[in-house]
Structures are given as structure tokens and as C-alpha cells.
Structure 1
């Protein structure tokens, strides 16, 4: 089961009661309980972190099924109008179009643009 929560939501324990898991990739970005950021939990464990504005994604696992579940939940949040749209430019410190997450994001409806991967409601 995957759920999208605001990173600062009291129901989201990471960064408050529990430490964030290590992120994948070579990036200086780190998850935090910031306004506007999102955490996507799969079975209660962080799978994706969406930085404020949605330009950058961080992942916590390489498990494809987990990433697909998280990306599907994120896609549903956009399509249901909760997020409006996402324009991901970086994923795990790489250009979104060539990142390890690109294929998973495309599978759930993100489309390639010159700036990255975009999903609209």
C-alpha cells in the first residue's frame, strides 16, 4: 500500500520520530520535514521524496515493485488534482530523463519534455 503525505505531516514519522533512510544516487539533496515537500511511503517505509516544487525526486530503494507502487500513488495524487502537476528535472542527482527512475515514471504516465519528466492532471 502506497500513500503520499506532506513531508511535514504529523502522520509521516520520518525526520521526526524516525531517521530518514539513506538516499540513492550521488546528490547533496537530503530529505527533510519541509513545507511543500512530499513523502511517498510504501507499506509505511519511505520510497520517494519529492522536494518542494516537485523539481527533484529522491529515492530510498532500488526495488522496482516498491518504486512502481510509489510512482503510481504519486501519479494518482496528480491526476486526482491534489498536486496539480509535477515537472521533475532531477532524480537522485541525475537528469530526470536519463535517471534510473525515468522508466518507472514513464510507466505511470510522466511524459518527456526538454526540461525533464512532466505529469499533469
Structure 2
């Protein structure tokens, strides 16, 4: 509570609707790797805020983040689901952008093991 949240790509209006700010709430999850905050998931995982910097490749735009960070998030969620500590997650928003509007930004998620469905990105 004493340390502010890191900046979120898209929070300043870079993405439609803005990414918003993470909040403390029952059921919210954070993913930390080597002491660095990678992601904040709202209860149920419907909305994900990624704290990595956007990539500088051809896929810049909403949802374009470091694929290694996305892989780490999907791996953690999958492992929690496989041991029964978490139900399957359907991500509907990434950094304030609807999953259906991510375009090429979904590639990192699907390569990491998430399934793209009409409801969102499903991690099992």
C-alpha cells in the first residue's frame, strides 16, 4: 500500500478506453517474476494489465507487449489452473483494450498457449 503501482502502457489514453489503474480487491492476482511486477488480473481474470514496455517491432499498438512477459503470465495461470487453485480464465481486456480489438497483439497470447475464442483469450 505504500508503494505506487508502476505505469501501465495505455493508461494515458494510448489505448481505447485507457488501461485504468490496478486496484486492490478480493480475488485480484498479480504475477511477479524476479521481483518485477508483470501483470495484474482482476477477479476472475477478465481484465489484465501488463506492466511491460510495448515492443518496438511491427506489432506496435494495443496489446503489443514483450512476448516473454505474456508467456510468463500464461504459464503461471496454467500452472495454477492445473493444480486446482484457479478456475480457467477468459481474458476479455488487455491494458484496457478489448481482446477482439488487439489484432496482431493476440499472437503472443496464442503462442503462449491461450486459445482465442469469441468470448476472449482462454487460459486453461
- TM norm structure 2: 0.73
Given that 1:61 and 1:67 are in contact with CA atoms closer than 8 Å, whether structure 2 keeps it comes out as no
Computing the radius of gyration over CA atoms, which structure comes out larger, 1 or 2?
A: 2
Instruction: Decide which structure has greater strand share.
Output: 1
**Unpaired segments of 5 or more residues in structure 1?**
1-15
Query: What residue in structure 1 maps to residue 34 of structure 2?
Result: 43
RMSD (Å) for aligned C-alpha atoms? 1.9
Please list, as runs of the form range in 1=range in 2, the aligned pairs for 1:1-121 lying within 5 A after superposition: 16-25=1-10, 26=15, 27-62=18-53, 63-99=66-102, 102-120=106-124
Q: How far has the Cα of 1:98 moved from its partner?
A: 4.2
Instruction: Decide which structure has greater helix share.
Output: 2
**Unpaired segments of 5 or more residues in structure 2?**
54-65
Stretches of 4+ aligned residues off by more than 6 angstroms: none
Q: How far has the Cα of 1:19 moved from its partner?
A: 1.4
Query: What residue in structure 2 maps to residue 4 of structure 1?
Result: none
